Structure formats: C-alpha cells, structure tokens
C-alpha cells in the first residue's frame, strides 16, 4: 500500500480507514489520492524522478495539487526530497514574534525567505533547525504559560513574555 500505484488503486474509503490514526483521515485520504494522480501524470509515478526536479519548479507543481499548501509543499521538498527549503509553521511564527523578530502579519513566503537568506543553504541544517523549532514550540514555547525560565532561547528573549513561567 506504500507504492504510489497501490495508493491510486485502493478505494478512497478504505484508504481513509487505513490512515485513521493520523487524524483528519478522510481529508488526508482525498489529498493522498490527488497527490498520487499528480505523481503519475507529471513524473510517471516515480518519486525519484519527482525529487530530481529543480526546487522552484517542483514547488510550483506541488502547490497546484489540491490540498497541498506551502507548509506541506515545503515539508515534501525538505524532508522527502532533500531540497534546501525552510519549512515555516505555527511554532516558527510564535517564537519569532515573542522574540521581536516578526510582528505577526508576515506572509508565509516572507518568513521562509527570512530563514533562507539568513542561514547557509544546507538541507540538513534546515531539517534540524525546523525540528528544533518544533521541539521548542511543543515543550517550551506553548501558547499559554510558555516555560521561558527553562528554555534554551531564554538569553535571546528581548523582554519577558506575559504569563510565562
């Protein structure tokens, strides 16, 4: 079932049942179907061929697939295809805002460019950097009562966050 051709053949309700534990499984089943159709049409069903596509072109193609937004497209580019693209998520925005590096109205692209122009163009670095942001966001920089006193980024905080512990 992990082969793209098998994913395309399986009935959508069955696929939804198989991925139930991932949450939002009906929407995800529909999106997976759209993705494998795209893969067959644009890249003869080959992930290797898709991964070899130049970054900007592949990003543009992925964003045209129904259900694929910038964060998903960039996650595929970085984590699956090893392209140097920075993934921006809600944790990234929250940490930047609390540290006075963003005001909250920036577009996804503006934040992505900020990281990409500030860091060496290295997929492994982007990969780990994003993973560390997720770790910090989940375990310290919570929406309510962030644990600033225990966080490694505390020395970089310009002013205390309201309600932080």
111 binds ligand SF4 (CB under 6 A): no
List 39, 62, 73, 141, residue binding ligand SF4 (CB under 6 A): 141
Q: What are phi and psi of 136, to 5 degrees?
A: -65, -45
10 binds ligand SF4 (CB under 6 A): no
How many residues comprise the chain? 165
101 binds ligand SF4 (CB under 6 A): no
Radius of gyration of the chain (CA): 18
Q: How many angstroms separate the CA atoms of 78 and 83, rounded?
A: 5
Query: Can you say how many angstroms the Cα of residue 86 is from the centroid of all Cα atoms in its chain?
Result: 8
Q: How many angstroms separate the CA atoms of 30 and 65, rounded?
A: 11
130 binds ligand SF4 (CB under 6 A): no
List 7, 88, 95, 96, residue binding ligand SF4 (CB under 6 A): 95
Token pair of 105 as six digits: 């109205």
In the complex, least distance from residue 89 CB atom to ligand SF4, rounded to whole angstroms = 14
Nearer to ligand SF4, 98 or 130 (CB): 98
Which residues would be at the binding site for ligand SF4 (CB under 6 A)?
95, 98-99, 136, 140-141, 146-148, 151, 153-154, 157, 161, 164
């Amino acid at each position: 079932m992990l082969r793209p051709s098998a994913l395309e053949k399986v009935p959508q309700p069955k696929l939804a049942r198989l991925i139930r534990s991932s949450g939002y499984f009906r929407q995800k089943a529909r999106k997976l179907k759209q993705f494998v159709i795209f893969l067959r049409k644009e890249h003869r069903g080959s992930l290797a061929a898709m991964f070899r596509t130049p970054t900007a072109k592949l990003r543009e193609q992925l964003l045209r697939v129904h259900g694929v937004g910038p964060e998903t497209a960039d996650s595929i580019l970085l984590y699956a295809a090893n392209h140097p693209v920075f993934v921006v998520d809600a944790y990234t925005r929250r940490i930047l805002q609390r540290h006075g590096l963003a005001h909250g109205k920036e577009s996804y692209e503006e934040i992505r460019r900020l990281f990409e122009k500030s860091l060496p163009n290295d997929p492994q670095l982007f990969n780990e950097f994003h993973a560390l942001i997720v770790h910090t966001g989940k375990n310290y920089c919570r929406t309510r009562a962030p644990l600033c006193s225990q966080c490694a980024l505390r020395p970089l905080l310009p002013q205390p966050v309201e309600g932080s512990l």
